[in-house]
A and B are shown apart, each in its own frame.
Chain A
Amino acid sequence: DGGITQSPKYLFRKEGQNVTLSCEQNLNHDAMYWYRQDPGQGLRLIYYSQIVNDFQKGDIAEGYSVSREKKESFPLTVTSAQKNPTAFYLCASSIRGQNFDEQYFGPGTRLTVT
């Protein structure tokens, strides 16, 4: 069963704590992405990675960190420096090459920080 998995579906944390969101894909895609979704604001790019051991900041990277040690995995850490961490977080992947721009999304993780 191929696809993108994100865990957990719901996550609750206290303010001041770092939290790591998991994203795994078995589609053999080279590129992976993290987006944040807030009501009425569409999807905003946090970080992306085109290849293992390399990643770039997106439009709203402040307060977030990522790693890409394996092709299949692209975990996102929401640090205590992120001022408004409560949001719906989406991971996506795409294959490089002819159709590299077709991004496939995971089911998302809803993070609530209180």
Chain B
Amino acid sequence: QQQVKQSPQSLIVQKGGISIINCAYENTAFDYFPWYQQFPGKGPALLIAIRPDVSEKKEGRFTISFNKSAKQFSLHIMDSQPGDSATYFCAATSRGGNQGGKLIFGQGTELSVKP
């Protein structure tokens, strides 16, 4: 119940296309869903995050769509660029209780944007 399942494992998109990465969870207590972007040899960086009181959040070319009833959320990268090539991780946590802010991470998606 603590798992976050992420798909696909790898993704190849042409420049200018839309990249879509999906995540699913089971724990209904999760109430914070961030996405992290990681370049090779670097630490992950927070990209965008959503709370379950909204169904969509957009920041520039990055959009999170959230479906609370289906317990799924996804990252859309519009007009994908070669510079977006990185590994993307979804995550989830429950702010309540004694979780200590523990993030549960998905397995990661390696995105490659071809010029």
Residues of chain A having any CB pair with chain B under 8 Å: 4, 6, 31, 40-45, 48, 50, 56, 58, 90, 92, 94, 96, 100-108, 110
A90 pairs with B44, CB closer than 8 A: yes
The SS class assigned to the A binding surface is strand
Chain B contributes a number of interface residues (CB within 8 A of A) equal to 23
A43 pairs with B89, CB closer than 8 A: yes
Q: For the complex, is B95 an interface residue (Cβ under 8 Å from A)?
A: yes
Known: A100-B95, A103-B46. 20 other contacts (CB 8 A): A6-B43, A31-B100, A40-B9, A42-B6, A42-B105, A42-B106, A43-B44, A44-B105, A48-B101, A48-B102, A50-B101, A90-B43, A92-B43, A101-B95, A101-B101, A101-B103, A102-B49, A105-B45, A106-B43, A107-B42
Q: Nearest 8 A-B pairs (CB), nearest first?
A: A105-B43, A42-B105, A43-B105, A42-B107, A101-B101, A105-B44, A101-B32, A108-B43
Partner of B46, one of A31, A40, A100, A104: A104
